[in-house]
Amino acid sequence: MRQWLDPFRARLDSTSSPMTFFFRDDDGGWEDERLFELIEVFGARTMPVTLAVIPSAMQDTVARRLGAVMDGAPRLVQVHQHGFAHVNHEPHGRKCEFGASRPAAAQRLDIEQGQARLADLFGPRVRSMFTPPWNRCTRATADCLVELGFSVLSRDAGAARFEVPALAELPVRWDWFAHRHHERLAPDAAGLSLAAAATSGEPTGIMLHHARMDETERRRLGELLDVLAHPNARVQTMWEVAEGTLHVSTS
């Protein structure tokens, strides 16, 4: 069953220097049991995952449970902000919570309220990173993030960079649920796609959505993590990648 990863394994075999990977799991606050089941997949292999948490969706009881997990393994599980409510505000076109139809003041208020909510829930465990729902936002969003003290913005690698001073960008390059022509990639095609994503020379961010991952999906994820035990692979948290590659300050 692991043959779908053969192209990716071959890519690791052929590289002349270690390759860096990180996992960003979106929509923390939804489908809580599946979230913890996903964390167990990473924990069983002592590999890190960074959670993008929806502030208004995260319940206090779940946050306490998640906080206990982070306290027990601070490097393996980290959290950061995923929008505010993960709702669409655009009347037309693609879904976006922080899109062109929203003035900067409204965006800033949402981000600030979400920031305060996560600080209440997780305290200093929260990293100063922001992932917008659907991987979409505007330059005004980026400016607001800088004003509010965020250091890192994470979207899709296909999005044009804002080049905002003091805001590093750490994109994801491969979607676990990638589609082509409106159909999800078959396993063999997914393996080829992942191998291609890992050829950029930059850290390869892999986007997960635990709410959509059943037992079969988690088993396949475990297969990928097993391959990433390769000596030429280095799996880090998003913050570790930002510190080491983007030179984000920890102060």
State the pLDDT confidence band at 199, using cuts at 50, 70 and 90. confident
The owner of tokens 């799996």 is: 235
Tens of pLDDT along 102-112?
Answer: 999 999 999 99
Tokens matching residue 221: 């994820």
For residues 81 and 111, the answer to whether their CB atoms sit within 8 Å is yes
Tens of pLDDT along 39-58?
Answer: 999 999 999 999 999 999 99
CATH number attached to the domain at 2-244:
3.20.20.370
What does pTM read for this prediction? 0.96
* Residue 6 DSSP symbol: H
What's the mean per-residue pLDDT of the chain? 95
Which residues does residue 206 pair with via DSSP β-bridges, in sequence order?
23, 174
Q: How far apart are CA 15 and CA 21, in angstroms?
A: 14
Tokens matching residue 66: 């998640």
Tens of pLDDT along 144-179?
Answer: 999 999 999 999 999 999 999 899 999 999 999 988
Question: What would the DSSP string read from start to end of 52-98?
Answer: EE-TTT--HHHHHHHHHHHHHSTTTEEEEE--SS-----SSSS--SB
Q: Would you mind telling me the total number of residues written for the chain in this entry? A: 251
* Distance set, CA 32 to CA 35, 58, 147, 195 (Å): 5, 9, 32, 31
| Type of residue numbered 150 | F
* Domain ranges within the chain, ordered by starting residue: 2-244
Closest by CA position to 132, among listed 26, 238, 243, 23:
26
Tens of pLDDT along 12-22?
Answer: 999 988 999 99
